[in-house]
Amino acid sequence: MRPWQVPGAIALAPSPQPVAWLARSMGLNRQGVQRIVNEMAEDGLVELGPIRTTAEHSSSR
């Protein structure tokens, strides 16, 4: 994985997206992307939104 790809995927996303969506769009595993996003959040480069449970996802209704 190339860490510089994650900021690009975030910038190109049509709206704020879950880490799993970013990982899928890049063909990477969620855990690796999550680690990079967490590091970016610690550095103040991104802001993390609230964590949604499965029941809150529109696809589970």
pLDDT tens per residue, range 8-29: 999 999 999 999 999 999 999 9
Q: What pTM was computed for the model?
A: 0.77
Buried b (16+ CB within 10 A) or exposed e, 3-40: eeebeebbeeeeeeeebeebbeebebeeeebbebbeeb
Angle (CA) 30-61-49 rounded to 5° is: 45
Q: Return the pLDDT at 56.
A: 59
Share of the chain above pLDDT 70, in %: 84
Q: How large is the average pLDDT for residues 16-45?
A: 94
